[in-house]
Amino acid sequence: MGGKAILLLTTVGRRSGALRTTPIHYERLNGKLVLVAANRGSPDPPAWWLNLQAEPRVGVQVWDEPSSGRARTAGSDERRELWPRLVEGNRWLPKVQRRAGHELPVVLLEDLTD
């Protein structure tokens, strides 16, 4: 995916209850894994983000290291702090956000355990 760091995020489908695994670009900021719910600039949020709203417990795999934890959407102050650093790692984010027509949610993965 464009030479960017990718993780595998496993969520529980909000309607089906089935496990869903999605490759997602991430940044490691302040010791946490941080994702942007961009959906390639679609005005509709990605399914994985909607699933997290219903069930925040996730599975995460970075390289060959699986773990589990919780996901949460960054609050406005936290997002304001993280956004410039995310843009440093992915210069396309502002364009993607403009295309989406709304502020893209920033998601933090926390309490990760092996």
User: In this structure, what CATH number is given to the domain that contains residue 76?
Assistant: 2.30.110.10
Give mean pLDDT, residues 35-47.
Answer: 96
Q: Domain total for the chain?
A: 1
- Cα angle, residue 7 at apex, residues 107 and 2 outer, rounded to 5°: 100
Reported confidence tier of residue 4, pLDDT bands at 50, 70, 90: confident
Give mean pLDDT, residues 68-89.
Answer: 96
Residue 56 falls inside a structural domain = yes
The model scores a pTM over 0.85: yes
pLDDT at residue number 32:
92
Residue 1 falls inside a structural domain = no
Give yes or no for a contact between 43 and 100, defined as CB atoms under 8 angstroms apart: yes
